[in-house]
């Protein structure tokens, strides 16, 4: 059975003290509560160790939002997958559209990052998604398939089974414009079929595919009720417990 996951992506928000407070508030809100999904928070690098030490990481998984495409060495300013893992983080968000667009992360770079994450026992939350022009030109299925194929399909079946996917239509990220439940389901079902063709039905059935893009307390239930939507990657609405908890509780 694939996991249901609600993962927050704080992006470049919250200083260390604010981030610690948010993580601790979420930890307190979840204490003694039975929720029906895994909860993850994706913090900036500098928060990882402090957050992982301050919360119950059995209840809330900690994710980095990136890692280097090199294992170690003279790469000033970079943070390796091994360093991320040493903080207590268990996940790493890779291939977010902001990293692809603003930091020129190519499919080849992402391939290296995925391999290094897996070598260091981090679960990649691998983001894919089309821009508006691609959807309008009816190329969204081809674009998403190519993002998956080029960065992930050299993985063995065993390694691919460790990946979580996040379908994030770029036109929906931070815009307040959510994909409809039908658009999300259509793409998630397409992704699952693509995985089944490459690996096998069992791998496809066991892969968690999250939806991301202006998901919030009012639309989460409808989005998550789709058979192929296994949760969400949440940006803006993960920055406050009052907004994030109802999304977790949508399951």
**Radius of gyration over alpha carbons of the chain, in Å?**
17
169 is a site residue for ligand PEP (CB under 6 A): no
Residue 96 or 192 with smaller CB distance to ligand PEP = 96
Beta carbon nearer to ligand PEP, 132 or 196: 132
Q: Classify the C-alpha dihedral 164-223-10-47 as positive or negative.
A: negative
Q: Which is nearer to ligand PEP, 202 or 242 (CB)?
A: 242
Nearest to 207 by CA among 168, 167, 154: 167
- Find the length of the chain: 251
Kindly indicate which of the ranges 47-55, 187-195, 231-239, 240-248 contains the residues binding ligand PEP, using the contact rule CB under 6 A: 231-239
The least distance separating ligand PEP from the CB of residue 211, rounded to whole angstroms, comes to 9
Least distance from ligand PEP to the Cβ atom of residue 40, Å: 12
Find out whether 127 and 233 touch, Cβ atoms under 8 Å.
Answer: yes
**CB 217 → ligand PEP: shortest distance, Å?**
12
Interaction of residue 168 with ligand PEP, rule CB under 6 A: yes
- How many residues sit in the footprint of ligand PEP (CB under 6 A)? 13
Instruction: Provide the token pair at 187.
Output: 């793409």
Please give the structure tokens belonging to residue 144. 């998403």
Q: Who contacts 227 (Cβ-Cβ below 8 Å, separation ≥6)?
A: 185, 189
Short-list 244, 224, 242, CA closest to 9: 244
Of 110-118, 141-149, 153-161, 206-214, the window that binds ligand PEP (rule: CB under 6 A) is: 206-214
User: Whole-angstrom Cα distance, residue 156 to residue 159?
Assistant: 5
End-to-end CA separation in angstroms for the chain: 15
38 is catalytic: no
128 lies in the site for ligand PEP, by CB under 6 A? no
Of the pair 11, 145, the CB lying nearest ligand PEP is at 11
Please tell me whether residue 220 binds ligand PEP under the rule CB under 6 A. Answer: no
Which secondary-structure segment (H or E) carries 232?
Answer: strand 231-234
Name the catalytic one among 47, 96, 140, 188: 96
d(CA 26, CA 93): 20
* Known catalytic membership, residue 168: yes
Which of 67, 234, 247, 248 contacts ligand PEP by CB under 6 A? 234
Site residues, ligand PEP (CB under 6 A): 9, 168, 173-174, 212-215, 233-237
């Amino acid at each position: 059975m694939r996991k249901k996951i609600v993962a927050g992506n704080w992006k470049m928000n919250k200083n260390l003290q604010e981030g610690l407070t948010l993580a601790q508030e979420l930890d307190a809100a979840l204490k003694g509560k039975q929720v029906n999904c895994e909860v993850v928070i994706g913090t900036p690098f500098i928060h990882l160790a402090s957050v992982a030490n301050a919360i119950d990481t059995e209840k809330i998984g900690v994710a980095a939002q990136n890692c280097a495409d090199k294992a170690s060495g003279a790469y000033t300013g970079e943070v390796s997958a091994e360093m991320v893992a040493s903080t207590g983080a268990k996940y790493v968000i890779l291939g977010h559209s902001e990293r692809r667009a603003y930091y020129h992360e190519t499919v080849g770079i992402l391939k290296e990052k995925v391999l290094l994450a897996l070598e260091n026992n981090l679960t990649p939350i691998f983001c894919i998604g089309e821009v508006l022009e691609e959807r309008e030109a009816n190329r969204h299925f081809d674009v998403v398939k190519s993002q998956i194929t080029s960065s992930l399909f050299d993985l063995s079946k065993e390694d691919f089974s460790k990946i979580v996917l996040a379908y994030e239509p770029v036109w929906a990220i931070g815009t307040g414009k959510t994909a409809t439940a039908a658009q999300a389901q259509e793409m998630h079902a397409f992704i699952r079929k693509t995985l089944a063709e490459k690996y096998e039905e069992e791998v496809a059935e066991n892969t968690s595919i999250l939806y991301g893009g202006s998901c919030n307390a009012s639309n989460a239930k409808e989005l998550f009720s789709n058979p192929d939507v296994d949760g969400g990657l949440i940006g803006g609405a993960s920055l406050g417990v009052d907004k994030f908890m109802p999304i977790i509780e949508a399951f």
